[in-house]
Amino acid sequence: MWHELTQTLAVKSSGGTGNPVIADVTCDSRQVAPGSLFVSIPGFQVHGDTFIKSAIDRGACAVLSENPQPACPVVWAQLDNARQSLGNISRMVYGIHLDDMRLVGITGTNGKTTTAHLMKALLSQLYNEKDVWMFGTIAYYEAGTTEPAHNTTPEAARIFRNIRTAPAKPRAVVMEVSSHSLALDRISGLLYDCAIFTNLTQDHLDFHETMERYFLAKKLLFVKYLKPGGAAVINTDDPYGLRLARELAGTRIVSYGRNETADVRITGWNCDWDSTAVSLSVAGSPLDFTSRLAGFFNVYNMTALVAGAHALGISMDAVRRCFAATRTVAGRMERVPLDAPYSVFVDYAHTPDALVNVLSTVKELTTGRLICVFGCGGDRDKHKRPLMAAAVAEYADEAVVTSDNPRSEDPHAIIRDMLAGMPLDFPHAVVVDRKEAIRKALRIARAGDCIVVAGKGHEDYQEVKGVRRHFDDKEEVHKAFTETAGNGN
């Protein structure tokens, strides 16, 4: 099999003798077993070549690397892009065929998680729920099992391996596709029937450096990873979405948005705390439905789902059933149940645009004050910190500025960056300890007020100085309410 594999690759040099049968493929030396092909990938801190000896000691029978390995005691080959080859080789070794599976990839700055959960719910209307796999920010769902997500988008090699070993092959796979995974070729080997673009706003510039590079990373999903005849579903209300649609010459495009030329057009909506009624025009035909997802930004997520269904040829009756069955997504405009005269929502919003979306929605529905508890992550895009504070100052009435995941940074320094974007006269308090910040917000809340605790959403940890400790915003809200109620506040 080794010879057959190398014939499909652009090999620069090779060595060793024999034609071993490849039983497994991995880039993690700890996962190597006898008969494995070890693919050495350059890491951000350590090069994979460092682990070649360890991999061979564990039984690797062949090695791929971007560097020649003349001293290697097993067969080896050198090629230009080891990571890009990892997924394709895995698909070949495991004998995975994608033609009999529906694959949907969703990319964009905001809305990926909710849209992915909606798509999973829709496809579960057509297939057994265990036959619909999903990979995203919150969790991985495979063959009826659930595990916490390690990355928003896992390595394609991992997916192919799990398909091979699963009791039954999935009928459909839904994936949030991050810009990191696209820039790093993490999904190489996968091809999608439908790729959805939600929007593009500032985020991840610590990695991409510029918005142009961020956009080009997102664009890869549509130019490299669509099946022949696959559909690009694009929000053309978004300026980058409109640009993307114009640049995808020869690609089947289904556009969505409020603009008059959209194939799936938003014609009306009405939101309250518990539901949203939406009216659409789908290729000229009216579609009305009600969902428990609240907020105008969710109108876009739901419209993306309808446009994806239209692109895949799925009936609108199945779409209606999907919306009727869908509850809120963990950490996305999730109301914390309290016996209180005010409301508290937890949301993952951690970009300026996401904060605007959530706060503007809540502002319209709140009779009292809107109080926002928020922070910014450490070791991430510093440029968005003052922009997030500016968004809070524009839409909220009061803020409690606190920590998110400071990681290796000083939380006080992060907060100083944030406050640069907040007017000096805007009512706010700085409480570095996030637990105490949540307590502060509940103590000052009055009847009719609404508190939005933003930034962490579904996450159940806080990372400080490289250590993760348990921290759940919803749990802390409940604890704080119990304490404030007990104190008569």
| pLDDT of 54 | 96
Mean pLDDT of the 198-210 span: 87
| pLDDT of 468 | 93
| pLDDT of 88 | 92
| Confidence band for 296, pLDDT divided at 50, 70 and 90 | confident
Helix (H, G, I), strand (E, B) or coil at 296: helix
Query: What global pTM score does this model have?
Result: 0.87
Which residue, among 363, 362, 357, 369, has the nearest Cα to 345 in the 3D structure?
Answer: 362
Could you identify the residue written with the tokens 């209307």?
125
Greater pLDDT, 138 or 415: 415
Amino acid residing at 259: N
Over residues 215-271, the pLDDT tens digits come to 999 999 999 999 999 999 999 999 999 999 999 989 999 999 999 999 999 999 998
Parallel, antiparallel, or unpaired: how do β-strands 62-65 and 145-148 relate? unpaired
pLDDT for 115 beyond 80: yes
Domain boundary, last residue among 65, 94, 123: 94
| Confidence band for 486, pLDDT divided at 50, 70 and 90 | low
200 and 115 share one domain: yes
Sign of CA dihedral 110, 459, 183, 166: negative
| Overall domain count for the chain | 3
DSSP string over 161-177? HHHHHSSS--SEEEEE-
Domain boundary, last residue among 39, 63, 94: 94
299 and 209 share one domain: yes
309 and 390 share one domain: no
> Which residues on neighbouring strands pair with residue 194, listed in sequence order?
104, 231
Are 313 and 233 in contact by the 8 Å Cβ rule? The answer is no
Mean pLDDT of the 385-414 span: 96
Which residue, among 313, 254, 319, 255, has the nearest Cα to 287 in the 3D structure?
Answer: 319
Amino acid residing at 300: Y
87 and 187 share one domain: no
Cα 234 → chain centroid: 17
Q: Per mean pLDDT, which range of 306-315, 323-332, 380-389, 394-403 is the poorest? A: 323-332
* Cα(252)–Cα(250) distance, integer angstroms: 7
| Confidence band for 487, pLDDT divided at 50, 70 and 90 | low
What is the domain range of residue 321? 102-325
**CATH code assigned at 259:** 3.40.1190.10
Which residue, among 115, 454, 135, has the nearest Cα to 299 in the 3D structure?
Answer: 115
Could you identify the residue written with the tokens 């149940």?
337
* Cα(347)–Cα(331) distance, integer angstroms: 5
Residues 6+ apart with CB under 8 A from 150: none
242 and 198 share one domain: yes
Domain boundary, last residue among 43, 72, 94: 94
190 and 311 share one domain: yes
Over residues 351-383, the pLDDT tens digits come to 998 999 899 989 988 999 999 999 999 999 899
Sign of CA dihedral 51, 52, 56, 57: negative
DSSP string over 334-363? EEPP-SSSSEEEEE---SHHHHHHHHHHHH
| pLDDT of 99 | 92
| pLDDT of 204 | 80
287 and 242 share one domain: yes
> Which residues on neighbouring strands pair with residue 467, listed in sequence order?
464
374 and 312 share one domain: no
**CATH code assigned at 475:** 3.90.190.20
| pLDDT of 197 | 98
**Where are any strands of DSSP class E within 62-168?**
62-65, 75-79, 102-107, 132-135, 139-142, 145-148
148 and 173 share one domain: yes
273 and 229 share one domain: yes
164 and 302 share one domain: yes
Helix (H, G, I), strand (E, B) or coil at 339: coil
In 10 A of CB 23, how many CB atoms?
A: 15
Amino acid residing at 452: V
Mean pLDDT of the 85-109 span: 94
Parallel, antiparallel, or unpaired: how do β-strands 285-291 and 276-282 relate? antiparallel
